[in-house]
Amino acid sequence: MSVEEHNWPVNYFNYFTEIEEHFQKTRGTALFLMSPLDWALVESWKNAGVPLEAVMRGIDAAFEKWRSRKSRIQAINSLAYCTQAVLAEAQAMAGGTPARPSNQASAPFSVDELRAYLGVNSEQLKQLATPAYDEIGTAIARLESEADLYFQNLEELEQRLAALEDKMLAAARTRQTEEDLFNARRNLDAQLRPYRGKMTAEQLSMLEKQYLERALLERERLPRLSLFYMDAAAR
């Protein structure tokens, strides 16, 4: 087993919060709130397997380049500004640049917190009183009842939750109108316009997918099921 596989909980669960905190710290504004586009971008990096270390280095490199400019009229107001630098760092790491080691090897939450997270998501889905969502809520309740067992194998639990979220998204899409989708795409285009030149076609496609899924879930008042969102749900 590789070091990365051995530290799966740490590498996985720290991804979201560490990027947010590092961006805020590097920008020098701890109260800065990242946008839905930023969160979708982080998720697209996670799903593409971009190492956390590469994202951190990319953020640093982007800000160093910005600060070196003689004229800095506009502040960096989105993580999207760092996209090219993050991609460059990911490619460098793929070529053998060592990542910073991690000494932690356990999940950053307790089994009781896991049980509570599953319970809240199950109840939220059932309260929507929609047969498809109720079925998924019942499935999550079963996982909650076996939280002690799954706490020993969080990777399998995450895979099961990912399958349930795919099913939930499919149900949500059947309820989405043409106007809903049009408005979501229009909002996405407005936010992406300043950064399109900094991204590849593949990155744009992945980011679009994540953004539209987030918009759909928010409109339907559906929870994110992945363990990746446990920390965000607690805020």
DSSP string, 21-38: HHHHHHHT-TTPPPPHHH
Counting residues of the chain whose pLDDT is more than 90, the rounded percentage is: 34
Which amino acid makes up residue 146? E
What mean pLDDT is reported for the chain? 82
Q: Is the pLDDT of residue 66 over 50?
A: yes
Residue linked to tokens 């070091």: 3
Instruction: Name the amino acid, one letter, at 220.
Output: E
Token pair belonging to 196: 């399109």
Kindly report whether the global pTM for this prediction surpasses the value 0.75.
no
Q: How far apart are CA 104 and CA 181, in angstroms?
A: 42
Confidence grade of residue 20 (pLDDT, cut at 50, 70, 90): confident
Q: What is the mean pLDDT of residues 19-28?
A: 87
Residue spans per domain, the chain: 3-94, 111-230
Q: What is the pLDDT of residue 112?
A: 93
- DSSP element (H, E) containing 104: none
Mean pLDDT of 165-190: 93
pLDDT of residue 175: 92
pLDDT greater than 60 at residue 102: no
| DSSP helix, strand, coil percent of the chain (3-state; round to 5) | 75, 0, 25
Confidence bin at 203 (pLDDT 50/70/90): confident
pLDDT at 235 over 60: no
Residue type, 52: L
Most confident of 29-38, 69-78, 119-128: 119-128
CA-atom Rg of the chain in angstroms: 19
